[in-house]
Amino acid sequence: MKNFIEVGKTDEEQAEQIKKWIKENGLQIIIGILLGFGGIFGFNYYDQSQHEQALKSRNYYLSVVANPNNTQAIEALKTEHAGSSYVDLMTLVLAKNAVNKEEYQQALDYLIPLMDNEDEFIMHNVKLKVANIYLEINKPDQALSTLGEYKNKTFGVLYDDLKGDIYLVQGKVEMAKKYYQSAFKQLSDDSELKNLIQIKFNDLN
């Protein structure tokens, strides 16, 4: 596209140059405007489509929460919305349902693939759940190795409390007390969990 106007021209010359420029570049201007609107409408369509997909995946997830045996919603969420975070959340619901029915291996099958989840909230939740299941089925060594080392302050108290439980099952009372104390120090005075940990600790003395 040619330059719009040259500096140094008289008013009449500039007016004539503007007319000439519009005549020569008018089609390009129109095309540019149309393309601009096309981009806007295209983006809006994409945004609307994304919003609709998010609503669908959310509705499928809520259907599973209401009824974990809703196989139609489960399959639809897994196949139609495979990349959605609701798939992972649904898996947690299915695992909880399996635990409630004491189907512990089924619960582990749901949870273990999520242990390396990129979402730290999901990953730590899953590790705690898996460790609890191992403890429930009398596999404290696997429970301990599942927790491993951790640096997340948000979940640290839950890790320490559970490690205390694991060491207690293993008969390592001093280690259990150590982790109960660690968890205790991380909690505020009005925490119900703090009172529970205090009871556990006192029972060991």
Please say if the pLDDT value at position 91 is more than 50: yes
The HSE-up count of residue 10 (CA atoms within 13 Å, CB side) is: 2
Query: If pLDDT is split at 50, 70 and 90, which confidence band does 124 have?
Result: very high
Name the residue with tokens 């205090």: 198
* pLDDT tens, residue by residue, 187-205: 888 888 889 999 998 988 8
Q: What is the pLDDT of residue 97?
A: 94
Which residue has better confidence, 160 or 13? Answer: 160
Which residue has better confidence, 2 or 198? Answer: 198
Contacts of 97-103 with C-beta under 8 Å, sequence gap 24+, read 97/68, 99/129, 99/133
Residues with Cβ within 8 Å of 51's Cβ and at least 6 positions away in sequence, in order, are none
> What percent of the chain shows pLDDT beyond 90?
44
Cα torsion 114, 120, 126, 130: sign:
positive
Scored b (16 or more CB within 10 A) or e, 62-89 reads: ebbeeebeeeebbebbeeebeebebbbb
- End-to-end Cα, the chain, rounded Å: 87
Query: If pLDDT is split at 50, 70 and 90, which confidence band does 79 have?
Result: confident
Scored b (16 or more CB within 10 A) or e, 187-200 reads: beeeeeebeebeeb
Going by the DSSP 8-state scheme, the letter that residue 136 receives in this structure is: H
Please say if the pLDDT value at position 108 is more than 60: yes
Average pLDDT of the segment spanning 34-53: 59
Q: What is the mean pLDDT of the chain?
A: 82
* Alpha-carbon separation of residue 87 from 71, 111, 157 (angstroms): 13, 12, 27
Considering only the C-alpha atoms of the chain, give the largest distance between any 2 of them, rounded to a whole number of Å. Answer: 101
